[in-house]
C-alpha cells in the first residue's frame, strides 16, 4: 500500500512538471513535443521485461526495460512501474536547443545541457524554489554523449517521501530522449535508481529505417 502511495505521489509530481512545460524556448515560437503517440510507439512484453519500439520517421529506435514485473502506468505513453520503481521515457524536439545565436550548431552534450537547463527551469517555476541540480557527462558504449543529472526534492514541494528526481538524456536524431526515475523511501539506495536508468539506456538501439517488431522481439516463454 505504501509503495502504491509513493507511486501516486511521483505521478502527481510528473503531472505538474508536464503541465508546466512551455511551447516555446527563450521566447522562440518552436514547439516542444511530448512523447510520440501510438502507433508510432509500440510496447511489447518480452522474456526480460518490456520492449519499446519507436518508428517515428527519422527517429527509429528500440529500448528494453528489464525487470521481473514491468507494467505501464497511466498519464503518459511511456510511463512504467519496474519492480516497484518508477520509470518514464519522454521525447522532446531537439531544435529549440540545438543552435547558437550565430547559427553555429551545438555539440550533442551542449544540446543536452541546454535541454536540462530548460527542463529544470520549468520545475523551479512550478514550485517557486531554486533546485540544486547535479550534472555530469557520461559516454555510452559507442562513445555517444549522455547527460546524467538529478536534484534532491526541495522541502517546499511537499513530497516528503520523494528524495530525489534522477534523469539521463541522450540525443537521437532530431529528438532528445529523456529517462526519468525517482529515489523514494521505498528504495534503499540511490544507486538502485542509477542502475535502473543505466541498464535501460544500455539497451538503446538506433536504426536508419523502420524497425520490424517480429524481427526484434524475444517473446516470453
Which of 89, 109, 94, 127 is closest to 25 using CA atoms? 94
Does pLDDT of 152 surpass 80?
Answer: yes
Residue-range domain boundaries for the chain? 2-33+70-190
pLDDT digits (tens, 9 = 90+) for 12-53: 555 545 434 444 455 444 344 444 444 588 999 999 999 999
pLDDT digits (tens, 9 = 90+) for 103-146: 778 899 999 999 999 999 999 998 899 999 999 999 987 788 99
**pLDDT interval class at 204 (50, 70, 90):** very high
Q: Contact at 8 Å (CB) between 161 and 182?
A: no
Sign for the pseudo-dihedral over CA of 105, 115, 32, 94: positive
Global confidence as pTM: 0.81
Amino acid at each position: 500500500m505504501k509503495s502504491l502511495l509513493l507511486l501516486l505521489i511521483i505521478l502527481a509530481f510528473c503531472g505538474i512538471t508536464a503541465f508546466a512545460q512551455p511551447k516555446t524556448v527563450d521566447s522562440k515560437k518552436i514547439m516542444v513535443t511530448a512523447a510520440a503517440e501510438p502507433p508510432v510507439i509500440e510496447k511489447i512484453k518480452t522474456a526480460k521485461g518490456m520492449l519499446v519500439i519507436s518508428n517515428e520517421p527519422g527517429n527509429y529506435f528500440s529500448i528494453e526495460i528489464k525487470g521481473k514485473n514491468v507494467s505501464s502506468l497511466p498519464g503518459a505513453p511511456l510511463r512504467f512501474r519496474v519492480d516497484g520503481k518508477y520509470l518514464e521515457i519522454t521525447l522532446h524536439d531537439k531544435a529549440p536547443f540545438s543552435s547558437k545565436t550565430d547559427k553555429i550548431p551545438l555539440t550533442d552534450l551542449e544540446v543536452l545541457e541546454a535541454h536540462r537547463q530548460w527542463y529544470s527551469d520549468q520545475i523551479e517555476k512550478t514550485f517557486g524554489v531554486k533546485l540544486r541540480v547535479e550534472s555530469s557527462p557520461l559516454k555510452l558504449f559507442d562513445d555517444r554523449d549522455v547527460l546524467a543529472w538529478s536534484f534532491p526534492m526541495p522541502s517546499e514541494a511537499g513530497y516528503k517521501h520523494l528524495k530525489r528526481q534522477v534523469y539521463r538524456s541522450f540525443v537521437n536524431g532530431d529528438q532528445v530522449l529523456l529517462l526519468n526515475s525517482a529515489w523514494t523511501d521505498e528504495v534503499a539506495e540511490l544507486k538502485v535508481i542509477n542502475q535502473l536508468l543505466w541498464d535501460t539506456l544500455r539497451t538503446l538501439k538506433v536504426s536508419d529505417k523502420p524497425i520490424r517488431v517480429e524481427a526484434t522481439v524475444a517473446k516470453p516463454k
